[in-house]
Amino acid sequence: MAQQIPEYKVLPEIKTEEMLKMFKGERTGWVLVGPKKYFFPMRFIEQGTGFYNFKARPDDTWVASYPRSGIYTGTTLTQELVYLLSNNLDFKTAGKKLLAERFPFLEFSLFNHPEVTCEFLQINKNDLTKQELCREIAKPGYELVSAMTSPRFIKTHFPFSMLPSGLLDIGCKVIYVARNPKDVGVSWYNLNRSIKTQGYIGDFPTFWNYFENDLTPWSPYWAHLKEAWNLKDHQNLLFLFYEEMTCDFPKAIRKVAKFLGKTYTDEEIDKVANYLDIRNFRNNPMVNCSELRACSIIEEGNFVRKGGIGGWKHMFTPELDARADKWIEENLKDTDLRFPFFNNNIDNNN
């Protein structure tokens, strides 16, 4: 018997009217899901039950995170890394098949408002292939992923409380990537500006205010991280920090390989590291969302950005930085979660 959609509340009307003027990719509004009030577009009402009842398989491999928390582009590099390590370094397939096909984003359909999809179709009216992509990304992700053959590789930004019940216990492997909130906020701001399903038109301080107050998709940020952190000792969960991957990427590759039950030589590890080096990665059309840019869903520019640690210092005023520090300190009081190498002296923004 199918379970019902989790309890949700519609965002108050005054706040909805304000935010619809700032986020042009949403046309109806938002809901706050469950006791932790996870923030999602109104399409959750239509699709939430399908996601809630999505069935995991024991041989699924998941990459999970809060948005823009992984190295370079949220989870993108981690997805490609996991795919290669799990498939005996099949660079040939990785080089000719889009990452989105090999490792689909489970809930992206929630962020394709029907009106915006119609606009994408109009923009691409002279290209049937592009129109098909616009339709495909709007289809409920649980339908697309359920139709895949095993073993499946799945990307998600859902918190653990919204993932299939017991997925770790049935044998699914989950790699969760966390990143310090200041760099997350900057990267998340840039993506919200460039991807038209979000369509943010405001400035960074305003965006940070929404982020800090749990009013950007998949927020609350802290609840999201703490749910994963509380499961970090489970044998089927690997909790990784973006910062540790940046500090010693070959070491992180070996750590992921071991978690996946794979063994590779130093030469093979170096080959993977070189393949995923940002200088190569940002120019790889299979992973940099070239198909979304071609359809004008993402504005021209690099979906794969700079990477590095400490880029937030170029965006924060002293006043905003002090406020953010207080927010971070307050939210770390009840946990032993700490971000490695995160201090005011680090700046590796390259």
Token pair 């937030």: residue:
312
Q: Dihedrals φ, ψ of 298, to 5°?
A: -115, 135
Highest-pLDDT range among 94-98, 99-103, 230-234, 312-316: 230-234
Asked whether residue 337 is domain-assigned, the answer is no
The CATH number given to whatever domain includes residue 291 is 3.40.50.300
Within a domain: 28: no
More confident site: 73 or 154? 154
Indicate the pLDDT class of residue 309, thresholds 50, 70 and 90.
Answer: low
Instruction: State the pLDDT at residue 269.
Output: 97
In angstroms, the CA 19 to CA 58 distance is 40
Going by their DSSP bridges, the two strands 8-10 and 30-33 should be labelled as: antiparallel
User: Per mean pLDDT, which range of 26-35, 156-165, 200-209, 299-308 is the poorest?
Assistant: 299-308
Whether residue 34 lies inside any domain: the answer is no
What letter does residue 138 receive in the DSSP assignment? T
d(CA 19, CA 207): 10
Are 38 and 162 in contact by the 8 Å Cβ rule? The answer is yes
Which domain covers residue 68, as residue numbers?
57-296+307-331
Beta bridge partners of 63: 155, 175
The answer to whether residue 69 is domain-embedded is: yes
To the query of whether residue 224 is one of the catalytic residues in this protein, the response is no
Q: Is residue 33 part of a domain?
A: no
pLDDT-based confidence at 346, cuts 50/70/90?
very low
Q: Give the H/E segment covering residue 25.
A: none
Structure tokens at 160: 């653990």
The closest alpha carbon to 182, from 13, 285, 331, belongs to 331
Q: Give 295's pLDDT tier (boundaries 50, 70, 90).
A: confident
In the chain, the number of structural domains is 1
**325 found inside a domain:** yes
Pure H helices in 56-161: 76-86, 91-94, 99-102, 114-123, 128-136, 141-146
CB 42 within 8 A of CB 28: yes
Residue type, 97: K
> Is 11 domain-assigned?
no
**pLDDT tens digits, one per residue of 310-332:** 567 778 999 999 999 999 999 99
- pTM (2 decimals)? 0.92
For tokens 């500006």, the residue is 193
Give the whole-angstrom CA distance, residue 203 versus residue 185: 12
Could you give the strand order of the β-sheet that contains 30-33, starting from the edge strand earlier in sequence?
A: 8-10, 30-33, 38-41
Kindly state whether residue 235 falls inside one of the protein's structural domains: yes
Averaged pLDDT, 283-305: 73
Choosing from 113, 157, 224, 314, which is the catalytic residue? Answer: 157
Closest by CA position to 193, among listed 184, 183, 179, 203: 203
